[in-house]
Amino acid sequence: SVAVVLFTADLRLHDHPPLHAAVASADEVVPLFVRDPAVDRAGFAAPNRLAFLADCLTDLDAGLRERGGRLVVRHGDTVTEVCAVARETGAGEVHVAAGHSAFARAREDRLRRALAADGRQLRVHDAVTSVVPPGDVTPQGSDHFAVFTPYHRRWSGVPLRAPLPAPRTVRVPPGLRSDEPPARASVAGVSPAVATGGEREGRGRLRAWISQDLDAYEDRHDDLAGDATSRLSPYLHFGAVSATEAVHLARTRGGPGADAFVRQLCWRDFHQQVLAARPRAAVEDYRPRNDRWRRGAEAEEDLRAWCEGRTGYPVVDAALRQLAHEGWMHNRGRLLTASFLSKTLYLDWREGARHFSGLLVDGDVANNQLNWQWVAGTGTDSRPHRVLNPVLQGRRYDPDGAYVRRWVPELAALPGASVHEPWKLKGADRAAYDYPDPMVDLSEGLARFRRARGRN
Ligand code: FAD
């Protein structure tokens, strides 16, 4: 018998329930990836993610070849291509990871119907892209948790399945046509320092992270210059690393660093279960606040200055320039730049989310949109009126100013924390720095936000 394994956001061989089940139940397996233009139209097509995806597919193919198989790539509509491959090989079953976005669910429904019409079965595997599937833990009277802390408590008590080994051999039916997988070199417009994708790279990072850096995570995760977070987000986004395996390894290691890290992985599931229950939260306020975000020419100019990292607030600019250069930004940077856009500038969070999504290699509809909403106070934050002050944030999380000097070279000669307030320099000293004045007065921004939200 033959089974097809459709890879989506799970580009790995280790801890892969669909592949594991297919190899166990069928004589031959078709590992299939479909490059579907509808995925791009749904918001995926950012050069940084396409480059990372190309690495992931190249690596997946290499891993399969080591096991006697190969990756089959097709371009086109996913449902059409999966059905065609199933027909060509006489496969009775198609295995796929459950998806949780509206897009993934609609695709899954179409696929199930099309296969059934052909007398074939779709087998959907849970807990592949998330640790605890959306809907598995719910509060009484609701289909999802709207508050993180009780979710985290329940989530932590869910028994974890043991991570699965990669199959030793994968036998692929001979003679199957495969389109050329996309190559990183052919993607235009990639940021200069986007991480290398792929399971091999991701697993290497995961192991090094758990054994060397995890213990310091609790103390250092907010240190902008120290860069002491795992940087696993793109691998988790593409499924090159299994979140279940990451939780398992961290818990085995134990300690406060492990607890803090696992808690962050819980945030990932938390946002997924919100989005699964409220798919419109990708575009609409989760909790409508009747905001009248600024619009018009001046607002557009402010948005442009923010996107380009020339707001005049050094730590904000540093973070936005890190994003442009690496396709990745430190979490503290994401928090303070998003607060600056949505609250201090009072611009629509969707504009900021769009800019992030165009660059982030880990850009993810659940994590990006719902974290933006959290910061903008339209989402699940229980303190929706808090506003992060970029000067205090800079002094606190970049106390020596090293992060700013790394990303804002115009200010590299300013010593220590003075780099956070270049406007305090006077006369010729100030004129020596080719760096803009602050685009907005912080107290005016705060007053505008409070007026708009109806709290003084
Ligand atoms: P670590 O600190 O090492 O955390 C480990 C993992 O936990 C991360 O890889 C990630 O998968 C998960 N995680 C950590 N924090 C969060 C969080 N707040 N919400 C959900 N999952 C989390 N993360 C994305 O993966 N994709 C996005 O598109 C995204 N957009 C964001 C937008 C804004 C405005 C904000 C404030 C946060 C966003 N995040 C997003 C969450 C977080 O900033 C990143 O996951 C994190 O910075 C990635 O770095 P890391 O892998 O080193 O994280």
Q: Each residue of 127-161: pLDDT tens digit?
A: 999 999 999 999 999 999 999 999 999 999 999 99
Specify the pLDDT at position 455: 63
Domain that holds residue 241: 130-161+199-277
Question: Do 6 and 111 belong together in one domain?
Answer: yes
Question: Is residue 183 domain-resident?
Answer: no
Taking CA atoms only, the protein residue closest to ligand 1 atom 14 is: 264
Instruction: Give the whole-angstrom CA distance, residue 299 versus residue 280.
Output: 25
Maximum distance among all alpha carbons in the chain?
A: 80
Provide the CATH number for the domain around residue 448. Answer: 1.10.579.10
Residue 288 lies in a domain: no
For residues 103 and 216, state if they share a domain.
Answer: no
Counting the structural domains of the chain, the total is 3
The verdict on 203 and 152 lying in the same domain is: yes
Report helix, strand or coil for 131.
coil
Backbone CA torsion sign across 337, 102, 55, 247: positive
For 342-362, give the DSSP string: IIIS---HHHHHHHHHHH-TT
Residues paired with 72 in a beta bridge: 32
Question: For ligand 1, what atom is nearest to the CA of residue 234?
Answer: 25
Residue 187 belongs to some domain of the structure: no
Q: Is 321 in the pocket of ligand 1 (CB under 6 A)?
A: no
Are 316 and 269 in a shared domain? no
Confirm or reject: Cβ of 270 under 6 Å from ligand 1.
Answer: no
pLDDT at 182: 85
Give the ipTM: 0.99
Structural domain ending residue among the three candidates 126, 142, 175: 126
HSE (CB half, 13 Å, CA atoms) of 350?
12
- Inside any domain, residue 171: no
Ligand 1 centre distance from Cα of residue 332 (Å) = 10
Residue 191 forms part of a structural domain: no
Q: What is the reported pLDDT for 309?
A: 98
Show which of 103, 126, 149 is a domain's final residue. 126
For residue 173, being part of any structural domain is answered with: no
Pairing of strands 28-35, 2-7: parallel
Q: Are 268 and 367 in contact (CB under 8 A)?
A: yes
pLDDT at 181: 84
Instruction: Pick the last residue of a domain from 245, 277, 309.
Output: 277
Asked if 142 and 212 sit in the same domain, the reply is: yes
Indicate whether 112 belongs to any domain: yes
Ligand 1: distance of its center to the CA of 444 in Å? 30
The amino acid at residue 367 is: N
- What whole-number distance in Å separates Cα of residue 135 and Cα of residue 139? 10
Quick check: helix, strand or coil at residue 414?
Answer: coil
User: Could you tell me if 221 and 321 lie in one domain?
Assistant: no
- The reply to whether 392 and 320 lie within a common domain is yes
Same domain for 33 and 63, yes or no, is: yes
Q: Are residues 135 and 271 in the same domain?
A: yes
pTM, two decimals, is 0.98
Nearest CA to ligand 1 atom 17: 267
CA distance 238 to 249: 19
Residues of the chain whose pLDDT is less than 50? 456
The residue nearest atom 8 of ligand 1, judged by CA position, is: 233
pLDDT confidence of residue 454 = 82
